[in-house]
Amino acid sequence: MVLAFLGVVLVLAGAVWRYGYVQGLDQLAARGQADLALAGDRLVGQLQRYRDLAVVLADHPDVRAELEGSATNTEAVLLEVADKSAALDIAVLDRQGRVRAAAKGSLARELGQERFVQRALRGALGWGHGPGLPLTPRAFYQAAPVFDDAGKVMGAVLVVTDLNGIDYNWRGTNPAAFFTDAQGIVYISNRSELLFWQRPESGEGLSPPAAETPEFSITWPGGHEIWHLGWGPYLPQEALHMTRMLPVIGMRGEVLLDVAQARRLAWSQSAAVAALCLAFGSLLFLAAERRRALAEANMKLEGRVAARTVALRDTNAQLLREARDREKAQAALQQAQADLVQAGKLSALGQMSAGISHELNQPLMAIRSFAENAVQFMERDKPERAAENLARISDMARRMGRIIQNLRAFARQDSTTRERVDLGAALHSALELTQTHVREAGVEMEYAPADGPLWVRGGEVRLSQVFVNLITNAVDAMAASDIKVLRVDVDQSEVITVNFRDTGPGIEMPDKVFDPFYTTKSVGPTGGMGLGLSISYGIVQSFGGQIRGSNLKSGGAWFRVTLERAATQTEAA
């Protein structure tokens, strides 16, 4: 495309050059016509003076007297006239063309053969050119007839002009001009080097008389004749050639006008057009390039956006899949946790079962003996004593019922949703569940229940499970201690904290106690699985609370369970 554009610009510049050149040549030709007319008029005007001189002399009485044979001093008169008019020579010829008198006597004696003499002797004005040796190589001859009184030609006056003197005046002026005669010989010129050059047989150009023909050719741009020359430093290399006939002197005027300026003008015009086109083209090219680059960048960007979109969609799908998987895993985890909680409860029940069966066995035995006694009282007809026994039996049965109710509730698998719980009730049921164990271990419980309900967020059974676990752990820890006191109290501030402080040896590794399967208890009936605290941790956290374990300065362990308050009663699930 760029090459094509450059080609078009080149063609356009060429056309502009051609047009500008032809225009320049037109102008040059107009000026050349004027120059040519001026040069012709100048030459003719200068020669005309001598023609008029010949005509005037023809009427001179001394001339007629000379021809009539009566004159004595004609040559002196002619010499004076010649000197004053700067003529080369002046002669009076008789009817046969013989010189009768001459100013300088340089001419041949017989001139009857010359055409210009013959014309004058026929009564007309005659003119011609030729060498005027020995005075000049180029002379112009003009002859006027001399008439007698009867009007017949009696002779002629011949005035010879030195052409050297004429073109000497305007030698070197511009433009180069020359005048050729009928034979095509340059006879007069303002460039002396062209004198006597001759038109060759081809009729075109000029060639020097003796030497080789120098470089020459002709072209015709726009109908103008252009000569291409190598004719020396004083002639143009390329010239517009123009001619004009000068019949008055029998010659042809020619000029050679330098076309360099027209050429320069054409060049500058075409260069300006080319520069403009190139500048405009470059602008267009740059704009097109810019647009192309933008479009390319746009396409790249769109491609990248599309690729990124696809990648994003894939990632999205992947994320969705992962989210679904995670939800599934979460559900499985929750289920596993619930199962773990349940397992923890059952394990606690297993641990407690000896105490519980003892707890149930004792009233059962009492019920049996009370019933037997009641039967005996009935037999002895002491119904009031029997009634007393029955009332005791009823009391014990109620107590047993409460224990069983607690156990059932403890073993129940409750929902994991958070609800509102009375902290006092949960603590109470935990203490009841563990009271046999506590009593058998010889541990003294210090606990002052609060007045009225204390609502916290959580599930009753699971909260009891946490407390049962903490109490059991404390009792187990104090097995070898001398003083066995477990203090349980409730701190009521913004959050509610339940503290369990014992007088045992303290926690061995406080950082580890909540890790699953961490236990210091040896395997056996009292041996643990190391799951109790880790399950409790999970439960309390699910209520939005916290469980922490540390050691007291006095040596025992201190577990704190922090729980959120349940704001109002209507929040109950």
Give the side-chain half-sphere CA count within 13 A for 430: 26
Report if residue 538 touches ligand ADP, rule: CB under 6 A: no
> Quick check: bond before 247 cis, omega within 30?
no
Structure tokens at 563: 């729980």
**Binds ligand ADP by CB under 6 A, chosen from 36, 90, 513, 539:** 513
Task: Give the whole-angstrom CA distance, residue 80 versus residue 334.
Answer: 154
User: Could you say whether residue 520 binds ligand ADP (CB under 6 A)?
Assistant: yes
Q: How far is the CB of 516 from ligand ADP (least distance, A)?
A: 8
Q: What mask of x and - would describe binding to ligand ADP in positions 552 to 571, judged by CB under 6 A?
A: -----x--------------
* Residue count, binding to ligand ADP (CB under 6 A): 22
Count how many Cα atoms sit within 13 Å of the Cα of residue 471 in the half-sphere of its side chain. Answer: 33
Q: Which is nearer to ligand ADP, 227 or 467 (CB)?
A: 467
206: closest CA among 230, 173, 175, 171?
230
Quote the CA–CA distance of 81 and 90 in Å, as a whole number: 8
Q: Choose one: 80-88, 154-162, 413-421, 504-512; the region binding ligand ADP (CB under 6 A).
A: 504-512
Minimum CB distance to ligand ADP, residue 531 (Å): 6
Shortest Cβ distance from residue 418 to ligand ADP (Å)?
A: 23
In the complex, minimum distance from the CB of residue 554 to ligand ADP, in angstroms, rounded to a whole number? 13
Q: Which is nearer to ligand ADP, 161 or 465 (CB)?
A: 465
Give whichever of 331 and 354 is closer to ligand ADP, judged by the CB atom. Answer: 354
Distance (Å, rounded) from C-alpha 323 to C-alpha 290? 47
Would you say 417 or 554 has its CB closer to ligand ADP?
A: 554
Calculate the CA dihedral of residues 530, 531, 535, 536 and round it to 10 degrees: -40
Rule CB under 6 A: is residue 510 a binding residue for ligand ADP?
Answer: no
* Alpha carbon distance 259, 507 (integer Å): 121
Cα angle at 73 between 72 and 77, to 5 degrees? 150
Applying CB under 6 A, the span of 177-185, 258-266, 491-499, 520-528 interacting with ligand ADP comes to 520-528
228 vs 548 by CB, closer to ligand ADP: 548
Per CB under 6 A, contacts with ligand ADP among 464-503 are 469, 473-474, 477, 502
Report residue 167 as tokens: 């073109």
Q: Please state the closest distance from residue 551 (CB atom) to ligand ADP, in A.
A: 8
Could you tell me which of 238, 34, 213, 67 has the C-alpha nearest to residue 145? 67
DSSP 170: T
DSSP assignment of 204-240 equals: SS-B-SSSPPPPEEEE-GGG--EEEE---TTS-SEEE
> Does the footprint of ligand ADP cover residue 507 (CB under 6 A)?
yes
Q: Which is nearer to ligand ADP, 190 or 534 (CB)?
A: 534
Q: Is the CB of residue 380 less than 8 Å from the CB of residue 417?
A: no
| Residue 441 interacting with ligand ADP (CB under 6 A) | no
Taking CB under 6 A as the criterion, the residue among 504, 539, 542, 563 binding ligand ADP is 504
Question: Between residue 159 and residue 198, which ones bind ligand ADP under the rule CB under 6 A?
Answer: none
Binding stretches for ligand ADP (CB under 6 A) = 469, 473-474, 477, 502, 504, 506-508, 513, 518-521, 528-534, 557
